[in-house]
Amino acid sequence: MGVRVRVKLENLIRKNKVVITSALVNSGYEARHPEICLPKTLAEKLGYYPLPEKAVPVSVRTSGGIVREVFVPGAIKVTLLSNEGNELGSVVADVSISEFENEVLISDALASALKIAVEDFFLGLWRLKDEKKIRHSAPPEYW
């Protein structure tokens, strides 16, 4: 099943672009700083096209091999939401735009910054690091 959480995504470069969706917490997505991977279709909806000046092409190692993505540092505010819609915390993160992914991916560093503690990947259970309340995965959303 995997662990998916509800997030509110706000473009910090082009204001007034906000989307609420689910995101897969991916422990294998290792990053030095909080980072979120957006499918290109969602990046377009959020207003990252045309690409901002600080966008740079990068090569990324994935389980499927090396792919090219677009990296935009410090370009998004990610707010973690409960399944009921309550805000649980937010972080400014880097954006990686993928033409191959069809689901939003949360890096290990972003999961840590949002205080997401996975209880069971298979059952889709998670909690906040400073809480005991166990939460259930959000349904997947594909872009």
For residue 58, count other CB atoms closer than 10 A to its CB: 12
| Inter-residue contact 23 to 79 (CB < 8 Å) | no
pTM of the predicted protein model: 0.93
Name the 3-class secondary structure at 133: coil
Tens of pLDDT, residues 42-98: 999 999 999 888 988 888 777 777 878 889 999 999 999 998 999 999 999 999 999
Is residue 125 classed exposed, middle or buried when 0-12, 13-18 and 19+ CB atoms within 10 A define those classes? middle
Is residue 30 classed exposed, middle or buried when 0-12, 13-18 and 19+ CB atoms within 10 A define those classes? exposed
For residue 124, count other CB atoms closer than 10 A to its CB: 19
